[in-house]
Amino acid sequence: MTIPASAGDPLAGVLPATVRDKENRVSAVRPYRPDDRESLERFYTCYSPKREAQGLPPEGAHRIARWLDSILGQGTHLLVEHEGRLVGHAMLIPTDRPGVSEYAIFLEEGARGQGLGTEVNILSAEVARTLRIDRLWLSVEPRNRRAVRSYEKAGFRFRPETVFTPEVEMELVL
- Tens-digit pLDDT string for the chain (174 aa): 333 445 567 888 899 999 999 999 999 999 999 999 999 999 999 998 655 656 788 889 999 999 999 999 999 999 999 999 999 999 999 999 999 999 999 999 989 999 999 999 999 999 999 999 999 999 998 888 999 999 999 999 999 887 777 789 999 999
Smallest CA-to-CA distance from 127 within 57, 58, 77, 52 is with 77
Q: Is residue 97 part of a domain?
A: yes
CATH of the domain at 148: 3.40.630.30
Q: What domain range is 86 assigned to?
A: 17-173
Q: Is residue 62 part of a domain?
A: yes
Q: Is residue 92 part of a domain?
A: yes
Q: Is residue 23 part of a domain?
A: yes
Model confidence pTM above 0.85? yes
Q: How many domains does the chain have?
A: 1
H-type alpha helices, 10-113: 37-46, 61-72
Q: Is residue 27 part of a domain?
A: yes
Q: Is residue 98 part of a domain?
A: yes
Contact in structure between 36 and 79 (CB atoms under 8 Å): yes
CB burial of residue 147 (10 Å; 0-12, 13-18, 19+): buried
Q: Is residue 1 part of a domain?
A: no
Q: Is residue 112 part of a domain?
A: yes
